[in-house]
């Protein structure tokens, strides 16, 4: 007896169901790896902040049960440190030997700031932790090496490193997406703010009415550079060898504080001239 066409089709469907590999979403999902776990966790932090990261939320986004995550990370603290290590690894720590130590340190600080601001929420997380990881050690080495080579004593070199690192991290905490930065980046909003500051009673706020427009300006990059260069200039002035008091025609060197202040004020004066030249003043 001849088989009916639908019977043959039904047999074909049965064979397909039982013998062909599944072709649904489950088979197309990438394998769960530590790199995927860390990358997805970083995406959550960048979008919503570190406080919103939980193992349950992360598991849901990855399409797995929370227990599956613990095959790749032992705890959320370890996950945090893996995230930070991955971000810090993006910082180019190679120094340009043609630059003086001041230029090498400044270039590294600028690169660190760029990486931190490229990943919203990471600066805040880094502020709460102090990971001893391959990338963080490489970054510390890159900062300390030129300071040490310049002849700064051990403790002073360490202080200089922490000062520049903390300044850069603190600046990145107020990233370009923060409300304060967005307020001054928007031309109309910034103009309204300046008008408000100018309208304040000068008898009560004489400094704000005169200087407020400069304090709330769209000059984020210049602010970072001014602060960093002032710090480094002060370090350089403090480290400058003292002149011999017995050498002919020598003058007593100013105190460290006076030299640092002079260095910083000189830098600000040069930047003021540059600002007027570009029409910012």
pLDDT score for 175 = 72
Residue 5: the pLDDT is: 55
Token readout for 160 is 């200089």
Tokens for 50? 């570190």
Q: How far apart are CA 263 and CA 257, in angstroms?
A: 10
Q: What is the rounded CA–CA span in Å between residue 54 and residue 76?
A: 8
Question: Is the pLDDT confidence value at 50 over 60?
Answer: yes
Handedness of CA 179, 231, 98, 89 (dihedral sign): negative
The answer to which of 12-21, 120-129, 249-258 has the lowest mean pLDDT is 249-258
Q: Residue 219 phi/psi, 5° resolution?
A: -140, 40
- The pLDDT value given to residue 43: 93
Half-sphere CA count of 134, side-chain side, radius 13 A: 5
Structural contact between residues 256 and 238, judged by C-beta atoms closer than 8 angstroms: yes
What's the mean per-residue pLDDT of the chain? 81
pLDDT for the residue 28 = 62
Phi, psi angle pair for 63, to nearest 5°: 75, 30
Mean predicted confidence (pLDDT) in 69-89: 94
Residue 258 — very low, low, confident or very high, per pLDDT cuts 50/70/90? very low
CB 6 within 8 A of CB 50: no
Which domains are present in the chain? 101-238+257-277 (1.10.357.10)
Of 13-27, 85-99, 167-181, 233-247, where does the model show the most confidence? 85-99
């Amino acid at each position: 007896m001849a088989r009916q066409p639908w019977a043959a089709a039904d047999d074909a469907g049965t064979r397909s169901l039982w013998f062909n590999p599944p072709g649904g979403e489950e088979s197309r999902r990438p394998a769960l790896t530590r790199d995927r776990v860390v990358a997805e966790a970083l995406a959550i932090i960048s979008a919503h902040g570190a406080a919103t990261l939980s193992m349950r939320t992360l598991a849901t986004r990855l399409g797995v049960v929370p227990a599956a995550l613990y095959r790749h990370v032992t705890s959320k603290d370890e996950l945090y440190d893996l995230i930070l290590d991955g971000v810090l690894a993006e910082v180019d720590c190679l120094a340009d030997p043609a630059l003086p130590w001041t230029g090498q340190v400044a270039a590294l600080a600028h690169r660190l700031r760029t990486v931190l601001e490229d990943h919203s929420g990471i600066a805040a997380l880094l502020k709460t932790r102090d990971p001893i990881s391959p990338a963080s050690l490489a970054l510390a080495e890159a900062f300390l090496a030129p300071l040490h080579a310049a002849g700064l004593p051990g403790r002073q070199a360490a202080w200089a490193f922490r000062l520049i690192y903390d300044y850069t991290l603190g600046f990145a905490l107020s990233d370009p997406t923060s409300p304060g930065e967005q307020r001054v980046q928007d031309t109309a909003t910034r103009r309204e703010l300046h008008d408000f500051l100018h309208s304040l009673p000068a008898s009560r706020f004489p400094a704000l009415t005169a200087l407020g427009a400069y304090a709330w300006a769209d000059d984020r990059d210049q602010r970072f550079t001014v602060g960093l260069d002032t710090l480094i200039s002060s370090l350089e002035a403090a480290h400058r060898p003292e002149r011999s008091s017995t050498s002919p025609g020598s003058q007593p060197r100013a105190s460290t504080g006076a030299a640092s202040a002079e260095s910083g004020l000189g830098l600000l004066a040069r930047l003021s001239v540059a600002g007027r030249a570009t029409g910012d003043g």
